[in-house]
Structure 1
């Protein structure tokens, strides 16, 4: 057997052994999937990289509209106050019962904000698998989702009073 043929045979054998090992591991149930048990460091790193790279790739071609309308921002504040604060908190709210049991912990958008507007739209619209982040695009229009993004751009640094005033403003005003 020639050296290249032997190398291919060894690599194929290694792939078969790895495949069998992965199958045994997955079928064994030994990996704790409980939300109260953190991932192993390697698993967490892989999942975070997969999430971050996928959301960047899928949001790359989204065209961001003008998001400066006060009415749009106020609509986003109302949506955020009713749909998002249980997980992502609000100014003056340090923790919630729902958030306490989530793993991984969602970002505190009242302090962290969003890094990329198009990516935030994609995440809100499509959700994130196995993270408790729902796909709001199933129940909300793109215009509603953009209003939430418009608000999220303004949220960090907002005082609790400013947040409450905006989140509970009368839409007719």
Structure 2
């Protein structure tokens, strides 16, 4: 009698059979530069965010304008960046992960946003926390949309 097979069987990408040692090595070797540039960009973005927090600190229990501003600015830059690299110029394959995922991912910050909401709730300002939660969503999406739309118009005007 054989023992039941209790291993988890996850789906396998048909293009990359990770059961083959050579394919696993090929995948990890090809991803190393991407991981490196995301890490380096993330460090730069996080340092920039931290610096902004030092320059414009938020007093405990008050509305976190700095985090809102950082996230809005980062989202606007993401909107411009994505349009420029998809509609404007051809860039090296590592530019998008470095700038988009790394720098801007490290600069914009969901974790600080969540901590700010928690601090507002702990300070007895649940309404302010809820307002901040909703306002950040509206401002961030609006910033991406407005920046992308404006950039597309500028690129189209420049080409004509």
| Normalised-by-shorter TM-score class | under 0.3
TM-score (structure 2 length as normaliser): 0.28
TM-score (structure 1 length as normaliser): 0.27
Question: Quick one: higher RCO (CA 8 Å, sep 6+), 1 or 2?
Answer: 2
